[in-house]
Amino acid sequence: MLITESVVQDAIAKGKKTLDVPRNAIITPLANELAVSKGIRFVQTESQVISSSAPVKTAENISAKGKTVAFGSDHGGFQLKEQLKKLAESLGYTVIDLGTKDENPCDYPDFAYAVARAVASGEAWRGVMIDGAGIGSCVVANKVPGVKAACCHNEFVARNAREHNDTNLLTLGSRVTGSEVCKEILRVWLETPFAGGRHKQRVDKIDEVEKRFLK
């Protein structure tokens, strides 16, 4: 289990002075910093988290209703794309597939651009692009104004990419991360809200950098 800022913020909102955490939970540095500053003490419990499939604890709930997620991949990410599409649909999202449609060799920039354009235009709420490593597609997507793409290899990074950076496009590497981990990454990334607060000021600065080069 991952204890993030949003979990501590929820405890603060409820007026708690202690927060029970399983003995093998991971507490992020920012969550610990916030807890110390607010006088909240972590209390270790005997329970142990075996699976990370429990619902994501967030400061707010994100509803999948009416939200469209655009998926894309190159040939190396095709099989994983098919699996992740099914997961997104099971969570209640509407899915659009922008290719590729098979495992014949192709160029990832074409599909990364298609997904990024769908997000930037508002056709899709979020986008997911899979290639071998996830890096190339992330580079392409971040060239499109209005897109904030993050290449994530674990759940912590996925949550951080949403809470701190308000990313709207996720890239994954099919040759880097196993399919089951990718499913958890996607679920966490889709369900985690932007934390706002001091992070909004930083994201606004990212947007300002982008605007300087749009003239």
Q: Which residues are catalytic?
A: 164
Alpha carbon 3 to chain centroid, angstroms: 16
Q: Is-contact 11 32, C-beta < 8 A?
A: no
Report which of 61, 57, 63, 54 is spatially closest to residue 6, judged by C-alpha positions: 57
CA separation for the pair 97, 80 (Å, rounded): 13
C-alpha 81/C-alpha 84 separation (Å) is 5
Q: Which residues contact 44 (CB under 8 A, 6 or more apart)?
A: 21, 22, 23
